Structure 1
Amino acid sequence: MKALLPLLAALPLSSFLYLSPSAPAPKYAVADIPAALREGAHAVLRADDEVVTIKSAGRLVHTVHRVVTILDAAGDDFGRHSVGYDALNAVSYLRGAVYDADGRLLHQLRPAEVRDQGMGDTGGSFMTDVRVRYADLRQPQGPYTVEFDYEIVSDNTLFYPDWQPQEEEGLAVQSATLRVNTPTALPLRYQERQLPAGTTVAHTTAGSQETYQWQLANLPAVDDEEVAPPLAYSTPAVVLAPAAFEVQGHKGTAASWQSFGQWNYELNAGRDQLPPATLAKVAALVKDAPDARTRAQRIYSMLQGSTRYISVQLGLGGWQTFPASSVASNGYGDCKALSNYTKALLAAAGVPSYVALVGAGSDRPDLRADFPSSQFNHAVLCVPMAQAGRPDTLWLECTSQTNPFGYMGSFTGNRHALLLTPQGGQVVATPRYGAAENRQVRRVDLFLDAVGGATATARTLRTGQEHDFYSQLLHELGPAEQKKYVTDRLRLPTFTLTKFNLAATPATPTPGVVETLGLSLPGFAVPSGKRVFINANLLSRLPALPAQIGERQAAVWLPRASLHADTVRLHLPAGFRAETLPAAVQFSTDYGTYACQYQSLPDGTVQYTRHLELKRAQMPRTAYAGYLDFRRKISIADKAQVVLLKTES
């Protein structure tokens, strides 16, 4: 041993660590990642090995082994992991370790380092048994590698785990596998999405068990590209669903939308009874209502004025509603309970309706109608009725105290929902909002002075989905916060906001918000000799997009149709006239249409009008070059300048 000491002393510290009998052998060295996977990546998924074992119609086990190398600070979020659990889903274990760039173990996660937090601890309005186990292995600097292992035992087989290893932009995938073991008596339902060419499932049967296995490897990172679809539509995935399932003794099947809806309807049947006092209140409220729509509107106003929303996720309570009598007594409920309560109120007023399940969220993918499964996170109410002798359908968002009557908006509009009827589930479309509904109409009066200053008034009406965010500002923030938000986003070099107001408009035919601004613009158009150069498009300029770097990867998704119409009046100072007006511009493409023109009016003002209609569309990635050109042309036209000439000294 003495003879070895000088040699050991001469070795670098890293070599000494390798020779230590207690140190594990290095693994997951960054150098072992192919260069092509590191290119453009913030993190690399080294391994994602998932096993789903179906034990019975009411139980499954999901085990995960996940290894991620974080290459830079933008990938740090992958250095932590959380696993949710509740009364129906138990976490058997959560283990973890972190390694340096050479694959040497830095730290083994200790049980005391795993945080356990209830979802209700976040301060939201929750009634939930959902908790989270959370581990954080982030390091001060990269690259480094984290490894997590965990297992979930679920007694809620309504949900099978989905598998989409490439879950975020900037994440490359070196290796990922999914294996599903299921009894032959419980055949697996699955849907493959966006799998690379040649990727096939390996399906084997041994006795009474079937095994399905998928494997992915060497997927380069996906860039965050302009007007790209959600990753759910662009990266490889396998979605799983049961045929037969059981939740706390309630058996059902998801083999069809009809059967899945039937299970949900029967789960909530008989929970729509109202107390006598509430029935009497409804009768008095609607006794002189001339038609069903008026009765529904009065009921909706009553709902908004007497209830509030809470989230309920207590075991089966995630699917089974509070009784309507409970909402009537307590004045609160989740989306299911409030929709069921409103359904009961409408029934008491002689207006039939149906609860509908929907995947809500402005950026949430639409229902995959070709794969019956639980794809929902929200419930609304559908009210079929006849209007002026023709079929009509009214939709009600029952969780909001401020939502306009009959308006779905960005949250639940323009998608499909599952109607729950006594005969089972039925896929239907929620209201569609196009350019006719989603409008922004702006009038600006710009008053110029002789030394280059200006003042302006602007009135902007936003309707439909164009109004949704501003409606949220109106109802959730005070006037000072509203003003600050708008001020921070005005793209003007130097200005003072002298007047500000937001106000809702009557919801006919679609709801809207009117924004009124007063602006002081010092140095807005300083004369250059005898001329003044003015960009008349004060508030509505649409910038060009940066050129595509490298080959476009994603399809082109234009998620919202809209119409923007602007009228700007330039009020000239004494002694000035319009010398040059830009030429009119007009063009039409697959992406939308654009037109603008300028004219001198008899009263000496200059009027600028602009019309931009954007289409809702999904196009192949090859269409992106055309979209870039469309935006470039708009940007050029929006920057055109009016030239004024000083005619008096």
Structure 2
Amino acid sequence: MSCFLNSLRRIGCGLVLSGLVAPAAWAGGQPPKYALSDLPPGLLENAHAVVREYEETLLVKSVGRTVQTVRRAATILDENGKHWAGELVSYDQLNTVNYLRGAVYDANGRLIRQLKASDVKDYSLADGFSLATDTRGRLADLSQPNYPYTVEFEYEVTSDNPLFYSSWHPQAGEQVAVEHASFRVITPAELPLRYQERHLPSGSAVVRGKQGTLDVYQWQVANLAALEQEPAGPPLEELVPAVLTAPSAFEVQGHRGALTSWQTLGQWNYDLNAGRDMLPADVKARIAALVKDVPDERARIRRVYEYLQANTRYISIQLGLGGWQTFPASAVSATGYGDCKALTNYCMALLKAADVTAYCALVRADEADIRTEFPSNQFNHVVLCVPLKAAKADTVWLECTSQNEAFGYMGSFTGNRHALLLTPSGGKIVRTPRYGATENRRERRADLYLDAQGTATVSVQTVRTGQEQDDQSQLLHGLSPADQKKRIAESLPLPNFSITKFNLAPDRRVALPAVVETLGLTLPNFAPPSGKRAFLTPNLLSRLPALAPPVGERRADIWLDHAFSHADTVRIHVPAGFQAETLPPPVQLITAFGTYSSQIQTLPDGTLQYVRRLHMPRTRFPRTDYPAYVEFRRKISAADKTQLVLLKNEA
């Protein structure tokens, strides 16, 4: 669904350098380098690899050209760190690889071998759904059979795509320590660097200097211990050091722009695509006829969107400036395909023919939200924003690359984040639709029939809405019924069962997209009698696991990024001659983290009914609240495991 506006802008792991090793230094006979014994012992703790040296330099040659150089040495300690033994450097029309070198050393720092030209493989980096892409990669792999060992790579890339400057992430992964890393940007005074420092250790802030007439910005870090992402914590990028950079002015293939604000970035994108929304006369006439008897604006938008879905398909096209400049709407009309920019621009043109004004919007899809405080090109996708004339506060958002997405729904792919609206007066930061616990619902009803031998047959219907249905919706449109059934079976938290009935279908009766899942299950030995009693757990499919208690001091905040509301009702039809010996007491938890309740009651007909509710907001709490959150989860887990005891009557 996504497309990459940057035409694969950067290189490999995103690691870049200064102070290149001269070719002669790769020759044999050199003194040992990167011996394991030279490492501070603390850097080995909880690490699969240690970055020994990571140097990156970005040289800004002009408003239209940059040169990036990288040297990276990493000691791989075990199999889990093996991915650090390779380097992938990508290139395309706008990026040229000047060289790629490498060497590998044993644990004592002795040279094992150097990278040869024949070791470097050149690959197309086509993604499998692109019609045309010029992106390729040079891949070097120096992995060894025995651990530990150290690899060293260096490369240089000249880029005619200065819309993207390097972003420095010296600790680019979990369980990776860093011995030393540095980042340097050298730029003409008339092209001042824009940058944002994040989570830098004390004393690591920028050091400004001069190199002749050029301005130099430099950062360094050392002895960073390996980290792991903590349970219920934010992504690791929220914790590790980083420096984000961006140009103040740039030029791509003759198209010059400023990047001093979101307004100027949006203006460049808007101007680049202006005038590409012209449609053939017959298409405009077709759209006019399609909506002529539809006075309601939202209904007209829906008609046009359904026309788009029925007559186009998504194919990515990434060639040079094509990462940002769309194909004309007339081309999409003629061929029936386009990438996210082209299909969104085409839908905007169709709506214009229906007398509806819409705007393209840049968004970072399927990833963390952009950093709104640092204007820069952080986007990888385009969607359509349609402000309604009749309701100033109402807006329709359209995902134009999908033939199946529900009208007006963004989901987890592009919902709950910011977007850059492209208007004639420049860019404006806006929010895409928010989906909270009210929208993200899962409601499940089950009838369980237990026989005297303890075998259960169950009928289950689950209705999911909003982001709770995103995964099932993908199954619905991407897999055969047999494969859908297999995937659902793999997700059921039951030790022994067979599926006797299965159906997955959309529910079009509700405003939000919804999917209904219907199951028939047989559960052998679900509650086998033990003497006069039988034991069963009423919570069949919705058990929430407990969290491990904190070990040592927690580093990160509690980050609950997915809001949802779950409701379960299970009716238990006990076999003749059995009744509940005692009913577990009801449980009710009301906390800032969320609310939970569960209760078992006997209905007038003797059926036992289990009702469970869990409501979780999207929110954040300080790390000092983690023990309380662990206790909240522990109580939920204990309640979810509560057993019901059935007693056989003597009579």
Normalising by structure 1, we get a TM-score of 0.95
Amino acid at match of 2:41: A
Partner of 2:317: 312
Normalising by structure 2, we get a TM-score of 0.94
- Structure 2 residue 95 is the aligned partner of structure 1 residue 89: yes
2:378 to 375, 380, 390: 375
- Residue 629 of structure 1 and its aligned partner are, at CA, apart by 1.1
Kindly provide the CA deviation profile for residues 468-523 of structure 1, in whole angstroms up to 9, marking residues without a partner as x: 01100111111111111111221112111111111011173210111111111111
Q: Contact 1:308–1:401 at 8 Å: present in 2 too?
A: yes
Residues 557, 22 of structure 1: CA spacing in aligned structure 2 closer, same or farther, 3 A cutoff?
A: closer
Distance of 1:206 and 1:498 partners within structure 2: 74
- Residue 386 of structure 1 and its aligned partner are, at CA, apart by 4.1
Partner of 2:215: 210
Q: Contact 1:581–1:641 at 8 Å: present in 2 too?
A: no
Residues 116, 439 of structure 1: CA spacing in aligned structure 2 closer, same or farther, 3 A cutoff?
A: same
- Tell me the secondary structure at the aligned position of residue 556 of structure 2: coil
- Tell me the secondary structure at the aligned position of residue 391 of structure 1: coil
- Residue 225 of structure 1 and its aligned partner are, at CA, apart by 2.0
- Residue 648 of structure 1 and its aligned partner are, at CA, apart by 4.5
1:530 to 529, 532, 535: 532
Kindly provide the CA deviation profile for residues 370-429 of structure 1, in whole angstroms up to 9, marking residues without a partner as x: 111000000000000045x55310000000011000000000000000000000000000
Partner of 1:329: 334
Partner of 2:400: 398
Q: Contact 1:81–1:136 at 8 Å: present in 2 too?
A: yes
Distance of 1:276 and 1:107 partners within structure 2: 66
Amino acid at match of 2:496: T
Amino acid at match of 2:514: G
- Structure 2 residue 49 is the aligned partner of structure 1 residue 46: no
Distance of 1:91 and 1:275 partners within structure 2: 42
Q: Contact 1:537–1:638 at 8 Å: present in 2 too?
A: yes
- Structure 2 residue 106 is the aligned partner of structure 1 residue 100: yes
- Residue 544 of structure 1 and its aligned partner are, at CA, apart by 0.9
Amino acid at match of 2:384: L
- Structure 2 residue 298 is the aligned partner of structure 1 residue 283: no
Partner of 1:16: none
Q: Contact 1:404–1:507 at 8 Å: present in 2 too?
A: no
Amino acid at match of 2:86: R
Partner of 1:9: none
Partner of 2:23: none
- Tell me the secondary structure at the aligned position of residue 445 of structure 2: strand
Partner of 2:246: 241
Partner of 1:549: 551
Q: Contact 1:446–1:457 at 8 Å: present in 2 too?
A: yes
Kindly provide the CA deviation profile for residues 94-147 of structure 1, in whole angstroms up to 9, marking residues without a partner as x: 111111111111111111111111122x53334211111111111112111110
Distance of 1:554 and 1:71 partners within structure 2: 26
Q: Which is worse superposed, 304-313 or 460-469?
A: 304-313
Q: Could you say what the CA RMSD is over the residues aligned between the two structures, in angstroms?
A: 1.3
- Tell me the secondary structure at the aligned position of residue 92 of structure 1: strand
- Structure 2 residue 117 is the aligned partner of structure 1 residue 111: yes
Q: Which is worse superposed, 548-557 or 494-503?
A: 548-557
Partner of 2:157: 152
- Structure 2 residue 484 is the aligned partner of structure 1 residue 482: yes
Partner of 1:184: 189
1:348 to 332, 344, 353: 353
Distance of 1:35 and 1:620 partners within structure 2: 31
Kindly provide the CA deviation profile for residues 327-371 of structure 1, in whole angstroms up to 9, marking residues without a partner as x: 00011111011000000000000010000000000xx22111111
Distance of 2:332 and 2:446 partners within structure 1: 48
Distance of 1:242 and 1:508 partners within structure 2: 47
Partner of 2:496: 494
2:178 to 173, 193, 198: 173
- Residue 229 of structure 1 and its aligned partner are, at CA, apart by 1.2
Gaps of 5+ in 2: 1-26
Partner of 1:78: 84
- Residue 44 of structure 1 and its aligned partner are, at CA, apart by 0.3
Partner of 1:57: 63
- Residue 547 of structure 1 and its aligned partner are, at CA, apart by 2.6
Q: Contact 2:229–2:235 at 8 Å: present in 1 too?
A: no
Partner of 2:259: 254
Amino acid at match of 1:368: R
- Residue 445 of structure 1 and its aligned partner are, at CA, apart by 0.5
Runs of 4+ in structure 1 deviating by more than 6 angstroms, as ranges, are: none
Q: Contact 1:73–1:141 at 8 Å: present in 2 too?
A: no
Distance of 1:634 and 1:592 partners within structure 2: 11
Q: Contact 2:314–2:402 at 8 Å: present in 1 too?
A: yes
Partner of 2:15: none
- Structure 2 residue 308 is the aligned partner of structure 1 residue 303: yes
1:69 to 55, 75, 79: 75
- Structure 2 residue 429 is the aligned partner of structure 1 residue 432: no
Q: Contact 2:457–2:523 at 8 Å: present in 1 too?
A: yes
Partner of 1:33: 39
Q: Contact 2:579–2:647 at 8 Å: present in 1 too?
A: yes
Distance of 1:131 and 1:114 partners within structure 2: 13
- Tell me the secondary structure at the aligned position of residue 458 of structure 1: strand
Amino acid at match of 1:137: L
2:599 to 594, 597, 600: 597
Partner of 1:575: 577
Partner of 1:457: 459
Q: Contact 1:435–1:614 at 8 Å: present in 2 too?
A: yes
- Residue 270 of structure 1 and its aligned partner are, at CA, apart by 0.3
Aligned length: 625
Distance of 2:306 and 2:650 partners within structure 1: 62
Partner of 2:6: none
Distance of 2:243 and 2:465 partners within structure 1: 39
- Residue 621 of structure 1 and its aligned partner are, at CA, apart by 2.2
Amino acid at match of 2:317: V
Residues 27, 507 of structure 1: CA spacing in aligned structure 2 closer, same or farther, 3 A cutoff?
A: farther
Distance of 2:212 and 2:171 partners within structure 1: 34
Question: Sequence identity of aligned pairs in percent?
Answer: 60
Equivalent positions of 1:628-639 (< 5 A) are 628-639=630-641
Q: Contact 2:197–2:205 at 8 Å: present in 1 too?
A: no
Partner of 2:513: 511
Distance of 1:461 and 1:492 partners within structure 2: 20
- Residue 234 of structure 1 and its aligned partner are, at CA, apart by 1.2
- Tell me the secondary structure at the aligned position of residue 28 of structure 1: coil
Partner of 1:17: none
- Tell me the secondary structure at the aligned position of residue 393 of structure 2: strand
Residues 73, 356 of structure 1: CA spacing in aligned structure 2 closer, same or farther, 3 A cutoff?
A: same
Amino acid at match of 1:189: R
Partner of 1:143: 148
Q: Contact 2:593–2:616 at 8 Å: present in 1 too?
A: yes
